[in-house]
A and B are shown apart, each in its own frame.
Chain A
């Protein structure tokens, strides 16, 4: 049981490049989310999904796309990277129902030059 896995762990991009951050979970959780962590700002929600085929925007969605074709996977796409997207990105899952804690992946550190 690997929990929540994220790849890659580190990535450096040039401005304008595109890439996909991968997130996978083996806990059969319906809810999945992407957060970004910036110094002095805590974590902010980018996009989330309440189940396969359903996604919605969080508080900082601009510049990012997501899709959820399966319960297990929730990739985050940067179509044209900008230096403002330099951050640490965390994927999280949530089983829903009465249990309310989220489970976080180890993170991807992204630098855009």
Chain B
């Protein structure tokens, strides 16, 4: 079945540092890929998405490129801020089976300090 593997956290960075959170996936066909962010005490919010190979999703300075050859969707940001401290989830929706189902990674907690 489908699966998503994320790097384990927590990731602790100083403000203005470069961020990479690795995400790889296993799925048949051509899944859609997502990054969700969860701020403390809140639900999940869509951060960015990509629906086909070589697509780049971007939002709020974050970027991720759908790499089918390496089955990866790594999240990057050039200069993190304290306000980026949150838990980040990589997720996929397969192109077959249950349309409602997202398969999530285990989440990576990011802590940004001054």
Contact = CB atoms under 8 A, between A and B. Distances in A.
B32 A94 contact: no
Contacts of B107: 42
B99 A41 contact: no
Interface string A88-113: 00101010100011111111000000
Interface residues of B, number: 22
Given A42-B89, A43-B89, A104-B44, A33 B104 contact: no
A38 B29 CA distance: 28
A75 interface: no
Contact of A104 (B45, B93, B101, B106): B45
Interface residues of A, number: 29
A13 interface: no
14 contacts: A4-B43, A32-B100, A33-B100, A35-B102, A41-B106, A43-B104, A45-B101, A59-B101, A90-B44, A96-B99, A100-B93, A101-B46, A103-B46, A104-B44
